[in-house]
């Protein structure tokens, strides 16, 4: 194995001038069977989620759920609440528009039709720092760079919290395409200066959100008769987004109020009308790992800080996460951890540390949940194959992908035909084009899997 892998790394054209860190271990005893720059700290991209998920399962537990509470102040007289209605978010990234409808229905069922007070959104479970410390400004427009709030909403069951879907439908040639925001909300406005062109022409649409607001500029062209185009765009200030959806649901159920819609902290004497619980962490790991959901990863960091230290801050959460990783046998003095998702270009992790983590967790009672959440190579079902559904369909691989500019990574487990199972981490940095990475990684894993020695 050693000679073959070394030869490929030395001679692969796309690795000229790049850094390839590789670590391979036995699952049975953790023995290193191959390494190439295994102790060199490299940018992990979304392989960072392997560390975040392990720490979250260890600290929070696989049955952990996020709560959202609806509270009231004052008293209900007849069908009128003489006080405020409060929506308190506690970090749930899975709230959908239908959940806000459900909240409104329950409020109505409790006998409240009118509120003599304000509608308040409470996002104080976390701090008000919305973006992780190394977020690149060009990522802020997109779902993978969405802002983090304890009170937020997702447009669909991918649970990209803090984002909306912009759907573009081509018109007739020479006309503007039509645009739909999903979920329907006036919180986001689209300035449409795009045009429909001749059928068969390549689509060339550009969407950009104006910094500091929720106006999206759409320009460029879309060919007549082409399929609809969907883009997932981050909103500015997700607390306001969630509040706007809540307002729409209240109106749809005929609930009125005479106060303002504002943000603020629920008073200590507020009474809980009802509590909504998210899916357990074991299920939430599926979109996190299979689809490489950045926002969920970052919210888990803040949640770990809140649960352990009472502070829903990145700094606190990362301290808690590093301590837990040390408890799992990882030398965190050799790591640079700046976020939970790996979107930071300042994160640094050696391949040997990743394979050691994947070995160490095998005795944890949550390991099955963890491994099941990894993408499965070659399985077309999206929530099974995830980001590996179109890769290595002839191999038995469960692994986490990672991609940021100039970086491609892949770490997980490969099982050979003879039953031998190995742990691997492949970290490619300083690539000219990160899109070259998957082909290199797949070839390396194929070479690893071809080793039939027991």
Question: Long-range contact list for 280-283, CB < 8 A, 24+ apart?
Answer: 280/62, 280/63, 280/64, 280/65, 281/56, 281/57, 281/60, 281/61, 281/62, 281/63, 281/64, 281/65, 282/62, 282/63, 282/366, 282/369
Name the residue with tokens 């036995």: 26
pLDDT tens-digit map of 353-378: 999 999 999 999 999 999 999 999 99
Which member of 49, 62, 290, 400 is catalytic? 49
Residue 367 host element (H or E): helix 367-372
Q: 1: pLDDT confidence band, cut at 50, 70 and 90?
A: confident
Contacts of residue 89, Cβ cutoff 8 Å, sequence gap at least 6: 68, 95, 121, 122, 123, 125, 149, 150, 151, 152, 239, 242
Q: What average pLDDT does this structure show over 89-102? A: 98
Q: Which two tokens stand for residue 386?
A: 């995830």
Q: Are 36 and 20 in contact (CB under 8 A)?
A: yes
Q: Has 49 been annotated as catalytic? A: yes
Q: Is 123 exposed, middle or buried (0-12, 13-18, 19+ CB in 10 A)?
A: buried
Query: Looking at the predicted structure, is the pLDDT value of residue 454 above 50?
Result: no
Selected catalytic residue, list 53, 278, 292, 344: 292
Kind and range of the H or E run holding 34: strand 32-36
Q: What are phi and psi of 239, to 5 degrees?
A: -60, -45
Question: Residue 417: is its pLDDT beyond 90?
Answer: no
The pLDDT of residue 321 is above 60 = yes
Q: Dihedral through CA 285, CA 158, CA 88, CA 148, nearest 10?
A: 80
pLDDT, tens digit, for every residue of 258-293? 999 999 999 999 999 999 999 999 999 999 999 999
Cis-peptide into 24, omega within 30 deg: no
| Per-residue pLDDT at 222 exceeds 50 | yes
Closest CA to 89 of 306, 341, 289: 306
Q: Which domains does the chain have, with CATH numbers?
A: 2-64+281-449 (3.40.710.10), 67-128+238-277 (3.50.80.20), 163-234 (no CATH)
- Residue 438 CA to residue 164 CA, distance in Å, equals 29
Q: What's the pLDDT at 452?
A: 53
Mean of pLDDT values over 326-347: 97
pLDDT per position as a tens digit, 177-200: 999 999 999 999 999 999 999 999
Residue 451 — pLDDT band, cuts 50, 70, 90?
confident
DSSP 225: T
Q: Is 400 a catalytic residue?
A: no
Catalytic residue, from 23, 46, 53, 154: name it.
46
The answer to whether residue 208 scores a pLDDT higher than 90 is: yes
**Is 81 a residue whose pLDDT tops 50?**
yes
CA pair distance 274, 281, nearest whole angstrom:
21
pLDDT surpasses 80 at 238: yes
pLDDT band at 453 (very low <50, low <70, confident <90, very high): very low
Confidence of residue 157 (pLDDT cuts 50, 70, 90): very high
Written in H, E and C, the secondary structure of 259-305 is: CCEEECCCCCCCEEEEEEECCCHHHHHHHHHHCCCHHHHHHHHHHHH
* Strands, E assignment, 193-228: 195-197, 204-209, 215-223
| 389 Cβ neighbours under 8 A, 6+ residues apart | 375, 378, 379, 380, 381, 382
Mean pLDDT rounded to a whole number for the chain? 97
Which pair of tokens denotes residue 119?
């509608």
List the structure tokens of 83: 């006080």
Q: For 372, what's the count of Cα atoms within 13 Å in the CB-facing half-sphere?
A: 11
Task: Look up 132 and say whether it is catalytic.
Answer: no
Residues with Cβ within 8 Å of residue 307, at least 6 apart in sequence = 59, 60
């Amino acid at each position: 194995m050693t000679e073959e892998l070394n030869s490929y790394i030395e001679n692969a054209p796309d690795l000229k001038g790049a850094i390839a860190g590789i670590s391979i271990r036995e699952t049975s005893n953790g023995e290193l069977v191959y390494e190439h720059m295994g102790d060199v700290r490299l940018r992990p991209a979304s392989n960072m989620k392997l560390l975040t998920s392990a720490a979250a399962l260890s600290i929070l537990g696989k049955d952990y759920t996020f709560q959202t509470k609806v509270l009231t102040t004052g008293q209900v007289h007849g069908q009128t609440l003489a006080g405020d209605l409060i929506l308190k978010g506690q970090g749930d990234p899975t709230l959908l528009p239908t959940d806000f409808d459900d909240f409104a229905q329950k409020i109505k069922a409790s006998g409240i039709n009118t509120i003599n007070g304000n509608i308040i959104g409470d996002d104080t479970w976390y701090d008000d720092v919305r973006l992780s410390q190394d977020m690149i400004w060009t990522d802020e427009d997109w779902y993978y760079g969405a802002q983090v709030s304890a009170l937020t909403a997702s447009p669909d069951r991918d649970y990209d919290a803090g984002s909306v879907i912009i759907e573009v439908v081509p018109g007739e040639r020479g006309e503007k395409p039509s645009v739909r925001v999903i979920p329907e909300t006036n919180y986001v406005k689209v300035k449409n200066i795009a045009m429909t062109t001749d059928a068969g022409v390549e689509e060339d649409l550009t969407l950009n959100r104006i910094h500091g607001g929720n106006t999206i500029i759409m320009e460029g062209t879309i060919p007549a008769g082409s399929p609809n185009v969907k883009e997932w765009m981050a909103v500015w200030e997700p607390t306001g987004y969630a509040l706007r959806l809540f307002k729409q649901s209240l109106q749809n159920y005929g609930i009125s109020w005479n106060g303002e819609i504002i943000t603020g902290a629920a008073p200590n004497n507020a009474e809980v009308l009802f509590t909504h619980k998210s899916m357990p962490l074991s299920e939430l790991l599926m979109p996190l790992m299979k689809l490489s959901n950045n926002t969920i990863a970052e919210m888990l960091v803040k949640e770990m800080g809140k649960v352990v230290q009472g502070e829903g801050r990145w700094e606190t959460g990362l301290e808690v996460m590093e301590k837990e990783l040390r408890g799992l046998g990882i030398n965190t003095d050799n790591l640079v951890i700046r976020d939970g998702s790996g979107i930071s270009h300042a994160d640094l992790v050696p391949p040997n540390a990743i394979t050691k983590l994947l070995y160490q967790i095998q005795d944890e009672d949550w390991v099955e949940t963890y491994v099941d959440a990894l993408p499965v190579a070659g399985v077309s079902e999206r929530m099974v194959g995830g980001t590996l559904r179109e890769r290595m369909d002839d191999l038995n691989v469960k692994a986490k992908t990672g991609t940021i500019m100039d970086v491609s990574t892949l770490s997980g487990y490969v099982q050979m035909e003879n039953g031998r199972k190995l742990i691997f981490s492949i970290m490619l940095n300083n690539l000219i084009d990160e899109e070259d990475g998957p082909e290199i990684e797949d070839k390396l894993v194929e070479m690893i899997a071809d080793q039939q020695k027991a």
